Every structure is written in structure tokens, then in C-alpha cells.
Amino acid sequence: MENHYDGRAWIELNRSALAENVKFLQSRLPKDCKLMPAIKANAYGHGADLVAKELLRLGVDSFCVAEIMEAVALRTQGITGEILVLGYTHPTQFSLLKQYQIMQTVVDYDYAKQLNDYGEQLHVHIGIDTGMHRLGERSENIDAFCEIFKMKNLIIDGMFTHLSAVDAMGAAEQDFTNTQVETFYQVVTALQERGFRCPKLHLQSSYGVLNYPELAEDYARVGIALYGVLSNRADTKKWRSCLTPVLSLHTRVVCVRDLYQGESAGYGLQYIADEDRRIATLALGYADGLPRSLSKGRGYVLIHGKKAPIIGLICMDQAMIDVTEIPEAAEGDVVTVIGSSEGEEILASDLADWCGTITNEILSRLGQRLERVMM
């Protein structure tokens, strides 16, 4: 998978990996549980339009995003099917929900009133706070849920909660998850007992599908796993035989030069050659999502299947690597920052590990300048 594209720096998406991941995740769920892929933040950096189009082709037709403008952009690009906005939409933008047929999350009771006051019928999913305490009406406020169900302008298509500790399987996390699940069904049951029709339900995200497949309901809101990686390196490796990374990130060698003993490279005298070196400049920087904290040898890239350490401080648009041990390195060579090259592989979760964050952050911050190609 090299040299298929002529740009300065680009992302290649592996079409069959996406299809396999969809198949694997669906295989862990009953047939009547639909995947509702999370394609927020430009589909975790992959490119929301490319990913959504491919998912539609694969028969997946429900999506969730973080905010209204992400949903509008998808509609404008011709994406059909259901789209749920998981986060806040300002009342001045409620008209877009109607215009583009987008479902909105009810973030709490007061917000439900605002949605209802818009005066036209809007499709919503009610968020239930079962312990994460981020969004959702608090689970004990059954009367508030009843009031929401009585609101004339709300078409309640769904009810959901978000499980905040499903990624770890320690005793404390499992207890917490079980309590969240019980709390969710207490709300569902209470509403049913008061005669309200039960809408579609959903409570799983990626780790929910992997660690608690039995919690399947009408939808599973899968994000990171769909892209074939998990939040950290250990989990990514553990599930590597079931999930295939969809994204690889490549750039090009701009130039190769000698650096003589005692000379510095890059900003701030942060790299000084201890002996004569050969270095290469890459057309990729922190504005493209290469974390600046990988400067000064904390990260490496692959060139001709060999590891080349990043030296000095990563710049906005460029970075430098040491290619002293890779004499064949030359201008125009393809460099792999995430992905595999001649048997060596760098996972997005490796980058995350090197800079002390999670894969989700690395991927979702990949820049707008990168061209994205589905292959």
C-alpha cells in the first residue's frame, strides 16, 4: 500500500478492513441490533463523507455525530439514513434539525422544553444519565421523563445512556457498569408502567460491544472499534485478529541532507548532532495531527520498512528524522507514520502510547489538510 497517491501527506483508508470490522461487530450482536456508527470528528479523522458513503454501501444506515453542522455536512454530501446528534444544538439551529431530518439528543429536561417550544415536530432520543454525569436527565427524575414524553412537539424515537467504565473489566468497573445498566432499565420500566410507549433503546459503544455483547438493544453506537483500533495499545493488540486498522497515514521525504557534528536541526537548538548524521525533512507537522510531544526521539516513522526516529522539535508543517542508518532514503520517498511498511507496523495506538493519550485523540486530531483516499 505505497505510492498510490501523489500528495504531500495523505490518509489511505482500507475499504475491506472497514467491511470486515462492520461484519465482526455485527456478528457479536443479535441481527435486530443495528450498528449506529459514530462518525463524529470527521469519522475519528478518517473522513466522514468517505466513511459514511462506504457504510451506506455496506448496508449500514444509522449514524451518530457530535454536533448539528457535522450532520448537515453529511446530508449535503448526500448521506441518507438516520443521523443522531449526540451533543448540544443551540435553539437558533433547531430549524436545521427539521430541514435536514436529523434526530437530536435531549440532554436534560430543560432542554426538552426548549426543543418543544420550537413549535414544530422534532425527532429526538432522550439521554438518560445513569452515572456518567455528562449528559442526560438524571435517572431518578421519573416525573421529568414523563413530562418529556407528554410534550406535543417531540417525536421520541429513542432513549439511551452512555456507559462510562466499560473499557476496563476490574471489579469496580464491572460493578459500576452493572449499576448503570440496572438504572437504565429502571427508567425504561417505570415509563412503561405509566403507559408510555417504549422507543428504541441503546447503551453500547465499542467497548460495550466487545466486553458486554449481551447488552445489545436496538442500536450499538460503535466508534473506535469500527476503525479497527482500540483506545490503547494493549486492547488494540488483544483484538488485532478480529479488528483491522482502517487508516494509514503517509507523508513524503522533502529532502535529505548531511548534518555535521555539532550542528543543530530545527527550532531552539533542541537537537545537536553528536557526530556526523544524515537527516531527512518530512512534509508533515503538528498542524496535520502529528503530536508535537513526539519530538526529540519520542516517536519514529517507517521508511523502506525501517524505523527512523523523529529528531528535534516537530514544526507546524514539517518534521525531521534521522536516516543515518537508512542510506537508501531519498527525496520523494513515502514515509509511513501510521500503518505498515515492509513488515514493520506502527499502530495509531502506538502513537497514543508514546505521547500518553488514547488512540481516539490521535485519530480525531488528524488535520484537514490531509487528503483522504479510500482504496
Ligand X SMILES: *Cc1c(COP(=O)(O)O)cnc(C)c1O
Does the protein bind ligand X through residue 339 (CB under 6 A)?
A: no
* Contact (Cβ atoms closer than 8 angstroms) between residue 34 and residue 220: yes
- Least Cβ distance, residue 135 to ligand X (angstroms): 8
- Least Cβ distance, residue 223 to ligand X (angstroms): 2
Q: Using the rule CB under 6 A, which residue among 86, 290, 310, 321 binds ligand X?
A: 86
Does the protein bind ligand X through residue 62 (CB under 6 A)?
A: no
Does the protein bind ligand X through residue 359 (CB under 6 A)?
A: no
What's the chain's Rg over C-alpha atoms? 23
* Contact (Cβ atoms closer than 8 angstroms) between residue 70 and residue 48: yes
Q: Using the rule CB under 6 A, which residue among 21, 26, 130, 206 binds ligand X?
A: 206
User: Quick one: cell of 236?
Assistant: 488494540
Q: Chain-centre distance of CA 74, in angstroms?
A: 16
> Which residues, 6 or more positions from 36, have their beta carbon under 8 angstroms from its beta carbon?
62, 63, 64, 82, 84, 202, 219, 220, 221, 222
* Contact (Cβ atoms closer than 8 angstroms) between residue 141 and residue 183: no
- List 34, 40, 111, 271, catalytic entry: 40
Q: Using the rule CB under 6 A, which residue among 8, 46, 125, 162 binds ligand X?
A: 162
Using DSSP, state whether 164 is helix, strand or coil: coil
Q: Using the rule CB under 6 A, which residue among 222, 303, 314, 352 binds ligand X?
A: 222
Q: Using the rule CB under 6 A, which residue among 38, 52, 159, 191 binds ligand X?
A: 38
Strands 103-106 vs 122-129: parallel, antiparallel or unpaired = parallel
Give the position of cell 526516529: 309
Does the protein bind ligand X through residue 221 (CB under 6 A)?
A: yes
- Least Cβ distance, residue 205 to ligand X (angstroms): 4
Does the protein bind ligand X through residue 46 (CB under 6 A)?
A: no
- Least Cβ distance, residue 84 to ligand X (angstroms): 9
Say whether 40 is catalytic: yes
Mark out the alpha helices in 102-225 (DSSP H runs): 109-117, 142-150, 171-193, 206-211
User: Of the listed pieces 143-151, 218-226, 258-266, 325-333, which binds ligand X according to CB under 6 A?
Assistant: 218-226
* Contact (Cβ atoms closer than 8 angstroms) between residue 329 and residue 303: yes
Q: Which CB atom, from 222 or from 347, has the smaller least distance to ligand X?
A: 222
User: Of the listed pieces 107-115, 220-228, 304-312, 340-348, which binds ligand X according to CB under 6 A?
Assistant: 220-228
Does the protein bind ligand X through residue 224 (CB under 6 A)?
A: yes
Q: Using the rule CB under 6 A, which residue among 116, 205, 248, 251 binds ligand X?
A: 205
User: Of the listed pieces 223-231, 236-244, 279-287, 316-324, which binds ligand X according to CB under 6 A?
Assistant: 223-231
Say whether 207 is catalytic: no
Q: Which of these, 224, 249, 228, 266, lies nearest to 369 by C-alpha position?
A: 249
Cβ-based burial of 353 (10 A; exposed 0-12, middle 13-18, buried ≥19): middle
Catalytic center residues = 40, 267
Positions touching ligand X (CB under 6 A) are 38, 40, 86, 162, 205-207, 221-225
